[in-house]
Amino acid sequence: MRQPIQKITSICFWLLATLDIIGIAANVDWLHFTVKPLLLPALFTMLYFSKSTYPVKKWLLAGLFSSWLGDVFLLFEYRNALFFIFGLASFLTTHIFYIIYFLRIRATNSSLLVKQPVLTILVLAYGISLVWQLYPLLGDLKLPVMLYAAVICSMLLCSLHIFLGVNKKSAVFYLSGAAAFVVSDSLLAINKFYHPFAFAGVFIMITYCVAQYAIVRGYIELSKT
């Protein structure tokens, strides 16, 4: 029973994602406003009905719920700047939940960051350089954005930390998802604070959908072992 539900919800998620991306690209606001709030519930359902052999799933579900709140808040950013702050706080909470989730996975091997410490340096260098470029343009959001950058880079580092300790499919999905999340949030920050660019919303949504789906798929693959 669980397997058909996973397949159906996976198809629904990507169908909704495609419709949302079309809505963004074609500036069809009603389609974007209708579809985007349905994306995370589809993934939530997909994860909820997955085979559960790891108690850490609750942290992933909490992260998806927090992301859904962030999606809804950002839809109304045009009405009041506070909605962006609420969205930022929601996604900050999401990444904290994902950090807890990654760190509670029972890894069976040593940390990739211990074997390849240069990866830590590269991730930190990326986060610092991005904030450095945006800093003069952040206004009152300097501290929140710096905190957000630190947390999302920590989330990416956590996915690298467990990379060698889970099965190969899970490792690839986790790392791909975490990296895609960093890319998505980086594009959003560049478009909002630094310089708007063509089809920004499309690229942000594509990488965001890949990120969330890959992290959920990582759990599903992990639970098969």
Query: Distance between CA atoms of 5 and 193, rounded to whole angstroms?
Result: 40
Query: Distance between CA atoms of 87 and 146, rounded to whole angstroms?
Result: 15
Give residue-wise pLDDT tens across range 193-204.
999 999 999 999
DSSP states of 127-147 as a string? HHHHHHHHGGG-GGGHHHHHH
Q: Which pLDDT belongs to residue 169?
A: 94
Closest CA to 98 of 20, 180, 28: 180
| Count of C-beta atoms within a 10 Å radius of residue 5 | 14
Residues whose CB is less than 8 angstroms from the CB of residue 208 and which lie 6 or more positions away in sequence, other chains included? 180, 181, 184
**Residue 127: which domain range?**
2-222
Q: Which pLDDT belongs to residue 5?
A: 81
Provide the residue-wise pLDDT of the chain in tens; the chain has 225 residues. 456 788 899 999 999 999 999 999 999 999 999 999 999 999 999 999 887 667 789 999 999 999 999 999 999 998 998 999 999 999 999 999 999 999 998 767 789 999 999 999 999 999 999 999 999 999 999 999 999 999 999 999 999 999 999 999 999 999 999 999 999 999 999 999 999 999 999 999 999 999 999 999 999 988 776
Domain count for the chain: 1
Average pLDDT, the chain: 93
Q: Which pLDDT belongs to residue 53?
A: 62
pTM for the model stands at: 0.94
Q: Which pLDDT belongs to residue 181?
A: 98
